[in-house]
């Protein structure tokens, strides 16, 4: 069945009736992985919530260079996820690569406190994001391995909610320490080392990898053409839609810079991330549960409408009322789309190719993020902040059109039987075409 005519009728049509997931359906290992993410995000956001202002005010870096550093760094993380995902399928293990990634990110944190130039910051961000890339796809594949099929949206939503709770606590702590220590950036950066080390310890002692995490013999190259052909068309549409979404959503560093144009004091800069991640954290789990019940295309479309609204509001004025409204809408957009896209990969990919599937998914998103952040930095420098956000709104509108036009190719909620979708045929059975 083709999508109904008209965007309004499609968005408003009744969802299928499906039982919802509850927290009781979510295994303990996913909760632990959520708290690991929380601790590492506290560590990272203690630094990242202050880093754009640190680079511009202390190191004298231009917005263009900020955009380039952010784009290359985040794109590196997403691209490395491809190789870590492939390796996790090749070796049939998820946890060792996740441990290596978390450990590398924890150990590199002191470099930010020691940075004296943009090159230092770039090197530290680059290595830190390599660590993020190493852990990302194996961790997501491990969540997919642990989660019942009918509770994947809730499981990814829970992990995302705890992750973003850390991203809320980190900037809040950063702001308090900046006020306490008279804007001493480097002292705050040193504090970030401790929660990072705690995250590594919790993962090492608290998560047990399931014995049947990978359902293929170790040593099989998952990038062989025969294996890649097992990834169904629905999976590749998820990859394409995610890349387009990422292209429309540039680095959050530009939200900080926009707030600064409105007169936000340096010590209060983390408020941007506190507001963003507070909304994101509160909404991620409920929207993840919702994703287990309703048509995925509609929820993705709603997420893009939120991003368009955020860009328009931020483009109109740097006044605090516009900035905080835009930041809140941006957080709702992330809550509606990020966990959902991760769950859609799990629903469409065979179990023994999930690491590779997440890797390819993140490779496409990484390239898009590099282009988006570099383009945003250039537009900001040449034409100003307002035009940057108007451009983002236009790209988000294009992504919304793509979701609407291709909604029949996107996977719907998985069956609630608890069985994983392990083949293209089974994956197709989970596609909502109505």
Task: Residue 313: name the closest of 384, 381, 390 by CA.
Answer: 390
- What 3-state DSSP class applies to 373? helix
- The answer to whether 288 touches 153, Cβ cutoff 8 Å, is yes
Total H helices, total E strands in the chain = 19, 0
Q: Tell me the C-alpha to C-alpha distance, in Å, between residue 361 and each of 5, 80, 86, 349, 357.
A: 30, 11, 12, 11, 6
Inter-residue contact 27 to 146 (CB < 8 Å): yes
Chain centre distance of CA 344: 14
| φ and ψ at residue 368, rounded to 5 degrees | -65, -40
Distances (CA, A) of 101 to 98, 131, 195, 251: 5, 4, 15, 22
Q: Nearest CA to 243 among 79, 101, 7?
A: 79
Q: Which residues 6+ apart lie within 8 Å of 5 measured at CB? A: none
- Contact by Cβ (8 Å): 73, 131: no
- Residue 316 tokens, joined: 């109109």
Residues 6+ apart with CB under 8 A from 322: 262, 313, 314, 316
| DSSP-derived secondary structure for 298-337 | HHHHHHHHHHHHHHHHHHH--SHHHHHHHHHHHHHHHHHH
Q: How would you write the pLDDT of the chain (434 residues) with one tens digit per residue? A: 344 444 434 333 434 444 444 555 788 889 999 999 999 999 998 998 888 889 988 888 887 788 788 778 877 776 787 788 888 888 878 888 999 999 999 999 999 999 988 899 999 999 998 998 898 888 888 888 888 777 777 888 888 889 878 878 988 899 899 989 988 999 999 999 999 999 999 999 988 887 654 445 555 666 777 777 888 888 888 888 888 888 888 778 888 888 888 888 877 877 887 888 789 888 888 888 887 777 777 888 888 899 999 999 999 998 889 999 999 999 999 988 888 888 888 888 887 788 888 888 878 887 887 788 888 888 888 898 899 999 989 988 988 887 777 665 555 555 544 443 443 333 332 323 22
Sign of CA dihedral 325, 288, 401, 364: positive
**Please, what's the largest Cα pairwise distance for the chain?**
62
Domains of the chain listed by start with CATH number: 26-207+230-429 (1.20.1250.20)
CB 281 within 8 A of CB 12: no
Name the pTM for this structure.
0.66
Q: Work out the number of other CB atoms within 10 angstroms of the CB of residue 393.
A: 19
């Amino acid at each position: 069945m083709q999508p109904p005519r008209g965007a309004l009728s499609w968005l408003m049509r009744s969802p299928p009736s499906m039982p919802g997931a509850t927290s009781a359906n979510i295994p303990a290992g996913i909760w632990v992985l959520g708290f690991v993410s929380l601790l590492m995000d506290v560590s990272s956001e203690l630094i990242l919530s202050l880093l754009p202002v640190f680079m511009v005010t202390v190191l004298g870096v231009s917005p263009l260079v900020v955009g380039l550093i952010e784009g290359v760094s985040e794109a590196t993380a997403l691209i490395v996820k491809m190789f870590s995902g492939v390796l996790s399928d090749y070796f049939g293990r998820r946890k060792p690569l996740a441990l290596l990634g978390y450990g590398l990110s924890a150990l590199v944190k002191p470099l930010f406190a020691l940075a004296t130039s943009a090159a230092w910051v770039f090197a530290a961000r680059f290595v830190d994001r390599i660590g993020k890339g190493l852990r990302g796809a194996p961790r997501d594949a491990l969540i997919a391995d642990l989660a019942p099929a009918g509770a994947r949206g809730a499981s990814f939503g829970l992990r995302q909610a705890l992750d973003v709770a850390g991203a809320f606590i980190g900037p809040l702590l950063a702001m308090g320490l900046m006020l306490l220590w008279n804007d001493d950036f480097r002292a705050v950066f040193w504090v970030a080392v401790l929660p990072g080390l705690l995250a590594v310890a919790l993962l090492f002692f608290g998560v047990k990898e399931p014995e049947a995490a990978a359902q293929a013999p170790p040593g099989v190259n998952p990038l062989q053409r025969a294996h890649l052909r097992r990834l169904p068309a629905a999976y590749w549409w998820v990859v394409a839609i995610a890349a387009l979404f990422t292209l429309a959503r540039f680095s959050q560093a530009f939200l900080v810079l926009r707030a600064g144009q409105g007169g936000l004091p340096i010590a209060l800069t983390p408020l941007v991330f506190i507001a963003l991640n507070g909304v994101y954290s509160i909404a991620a789990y409920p929207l993840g549960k919702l994703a287990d019940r309703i048509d995925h295309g509609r929820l993705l479309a709603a997420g893009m409408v939120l991003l368009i609204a955020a860009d328009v509001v931020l483009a109109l004025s740097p006044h605090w009322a516009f900035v905080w409204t835009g930041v809140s809408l941006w957080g709702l957009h992330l809550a509606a789309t990020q966990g959902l896209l991760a769950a859609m990969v799990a629903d469409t990919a065979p179990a023994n190719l999930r690491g590779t599937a997440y890797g390819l998914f993140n490779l496409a998103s990484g390239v898009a993020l590099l282009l988006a952040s570099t383009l945003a930095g250039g537009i900001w420098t040449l034409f100003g902040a307002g035009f940057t956000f108007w451009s983002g709104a236009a790209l988000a509108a294009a992504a919304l059109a793509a979701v609407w036009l291709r909604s029949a190719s996107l996977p719907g909620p998985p069956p609630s039987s608890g069985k994983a979708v392990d083949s293209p045929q089974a994956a197709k059975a989970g596609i909502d075409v109505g």
